[in-house]
A and B are shown apart, each in its own frame.
Chain A
Amino acid sequence: MRSLIVAFLMLIATAAFAQNNTGTITGSVLETGGGPVGGVAIEAKNVETGAIFKANSAQSGSYTLSQLPAGRYELTATSFGFKRFERKDVVVQAGQTQRIDLPIGDFVTLQTLGEDRVSIGRVFSSRPKPPEGPAPRTPEGKPDLSGVWNGPGPGGGGDNGPDLLPWAQALQKEHMDNNEKDSPQAHCLPFNVTSFNFFLNRLVQTRDVLIAIIEYDLPGYRQIYLDGRGHPKNLEPSWTGHSVGTWDGDTLVIDTVGFNDKTWFGDSAPHTDKLHITTRLRRSDLGHLEIENTFDDPGALKKPWKTKSVATLAPSTEEVAEFICNENNQDAEHLVGK
């Protein structure tokens, strides 16, 4: 009994000690209009120790990070469809609770059912965990990238977009000022310069060609030649360019050139027909495909722009849906812009 009391007293002492040396950050996550935003991932990173403390905002928008050891922190809030909130030099003092509201702005107004934040967020959050195991190999001993892949979801990528030359910046601003009314995708033209999109992507790899069948993409397929051919001379510019792949160890390096200048980078940035994309695909294990893209365009970019993401293997029962964009594109004539 006595030892129990001692243990109890020690527990109280420990709790008191912890309380005395830790502090709390609490507040609300608010959208531009002042409304609460739930489900936002909030992280406080201790600058000195690198320790990370996490919380999610409730439906009411409120969040609390407690038991934070006193010190200096970086506070971030990320959620799909919102700009990342970041605040450095947050000082947590022992025994104190401080209130920090986190304003996070929209990228765009996503409202329409099926295209709203909740819907898209659910599509990503309901994906099953990818299977474990070693990456399969072809009879020739190369990694086999075949499979149905869930494209990379939101998050990651950092804040660095392409660094545009002045003329391209000016044209991007014009596009944005017009609410992207002339964007290729709004008019059912190809809009994705890579061979991957965010929903399902079926890769079929043979010895001589890698075929990508891409959901919610136009034209919905890409051919990447693996038979050792180079790019043709006098290549005619096209919407999706010409792709050849070579192996660098276990990484497939895809070189794509021959684009026209009619697609946009992302939602608004122009490129020229000098666009050259180097894609590195590495199946790190059965369930994961690392995708690294380097976009080089001396006609529009100050320097090459690199992105990294990871696709995950979807259940083999998943089927890539068709996307006949022009069957009912009533929007085109109603896109007034401003």
Chain B
Amino acid sequence: MNIAISALIVFFAHHSFTAEYDSSKLMQFTGTVTRVEWTNPHARFYLDVKDAQGNVTSWNFELGSPIVLRKLGWNRDSLKIGEQVGVEGFLAKDGAKMANARKVTLADGRNVFAGSSADGSPTK
């Protein structure tokens, strides 16, 4: 086991992904951004998601630390309140209305908070 590298990953990750999220429950969400928290250890944003019956549920999405997101060129204004977005993420294991965000897509098709320039991230 390579502790040097696994240490690296955990230091980046704050917590083990599998301790909180269920990698078998990948979900797609579409909704309106209601809040962005540019905070540690994770930036977060909240979406109002409407179901087929018209019921609105607030979902809480986890991103990486602002420290890393900033190095990639993102900031607290990269996602705006009121914006319609699509999100792909894994659900929390404990049933809370929480998910990690592995893909965030704006109405114009651009992906925000991504690390790859191919996904439309800004160049620093």
Q: Is the Cβ of B9 less than 8 Å from the Cβ of A192?
A: no
Within 8 Å CB of A110, what residues of B? Answer: 9, 12-13, 17
Given the contacts A121-B115, A161-B2, A109 and B12 also touching, CB distance less than 8 Å: no
Binding site for B on A (CB under 8 A): 81, 83-84, 107-116, 118-123, 126, 154-162, 178-181, 183, 185-186, 188, 191-192, 197-199, 215-216, 265-269, 307, 309, 321, 323-325, 327-331, 334-337
Q: Is the Cβ of B4 less than 8 Å from the Cβ of A216?
A: no
Q: Which 3 residue pairs are nearest across A and B when measured between Cβ atoms?
A: A114-B64, A119-B115, A266-B7
Q: List 19 A-B contacts (CB under 8 A).
A: A107-B9, A111-B23, A111-B90, A114-B43, A114-B72, A119-B114, A161-B1, A179-B18, A180-B16, A266-B3, A307-B4, A321-B67, A325-B41, A327-B40, A328-B37, A328-B40, A331-B62, A334-B94, A335-B19
Binding site for A on B (CB under 8 A): 1-21, 23, 37, 39-44, 60, 62-72, 74, 90, 92-94, 96, 98, 100-104, 113-117, 124
Q: Is the Cβ of A157 less than 8 Å from the Cβ of B2?
A: yes
Within 8 Å CB of B12, what residues of A? Answer: 110, 115, 120, 198, 216
Q: Looking at the complex, which one of B7, B64, B104 makes contact with A119 (CB distance below 8 Å)?
A: B64
Within 8 Å CB of A161, what residues of B? Answer: 1-4
6 more contacts with CB within 8 A, not counting A324-B39, A330-B98, are A109-B18, A115-B68, A118-B116, A178-B19, A183-B10, A335-B20
Q: Looking at the complex, which one of A109, A111, A323, A330 makes contact with B65 (CB distance below 8 Å)?
A: A323
CB-based nearest B residue for A323: B40
Q: Is the Cβ of B68 less than 8 Å from the Cβ of A114?
A: yes
Q: Looking at the complex, which one of A114, A334, A335 makes contact with B63 (CB distance below 8 Å)?
A: A114
Within 8 Å CB of B64, what residues of A? Answer: 112-116, 119
In angstroms, Cα B1 to Cα A335, docked, is 24
Q: Is the Cβ of B3 less than 8 Å from the Cβ of A328?
A: no
Q: Is the Cβ of A269 less than 8 Å from the Cβ of B3?
A: yes
Within 8 Å CB of B68, what residues of A? Answer: 114-115, 119-120, 123, 199
- Minimum C-beta distance from B122 to chain A (A): 12
Within 8 Å CB of B113, what residues of A? Answer: 113-114
Q: Is the Cβ of A122 less than 8 Å from the Cβ of B115?
A: yes
Chain A binding surface SS class: loop
Within 8 Å CB of B62, what residues of A? Answer: 112, 331
Within 8 Å CB of B104, what residues of A? Answer: 113
Within 8 Å CB of B103, what residues of A? Answer: 113
In angstroms, Cα B95 to Cα A238, docked, is 37
Within 8 Å CB of A334, what residues of B? Answer: 20, 92-94, 96, 98
B3, B72, B94 — which one has the most chain A CB atoms within 10 A of its CB?
B3
Within 8 Å CB of B7, what residues of A? Answer: 265-267
In angstroms, Cα B12 to Cα A111, docked, is 12
Within 8 Å CB of B11, what residues of A? Answer: 185, 191-192, 197-198, 216
In angstroms, Cα B5 to Cα A198, docked, is 11
B11, B92, B98, B103 — which one has the most chain A CB atoms within 10 A of its CB?
B11
Q: Looking at the complex, which one of B16, B43, B65, B71 makes contact with A108 (CB distance below 8 Å)?
A: B16
In angstroms, Cα B60 to Cα A274, docked, is 42
- Minimum C-beta distance from A162 to chain B (A): 6
Within 8 Å CB of B37, what residues of A? Answer: 328
- Minimum C-beta distance from B58 to chain A (A): 14
Given the contacts A192-B11, A216-B11, A107 and B72 also touching, CB distance less than 8 Å: no
Within 8 Å CB of A266, what residues of B? Answer: 3-4, 6-7, 10
Q: Is the Cβ of B41 less than 8 Å from the Cβ of A329?
A: yes
CB-based nearest A residue for B21: A111
Within 8 Å CB of A309, what residues of B? Answer: 4
- Minimum C-beta distance from B29 to chain A (A): 14
Q: Is the Cβ of A157 less than 8 Å from the Cβ of B14?
A: no
CB-based nearest B residue for A329: B41
Within 8 Å CB of B114, what residues of A? Answer: 113, 118-119
CB-based nearest B residue for A156: B4
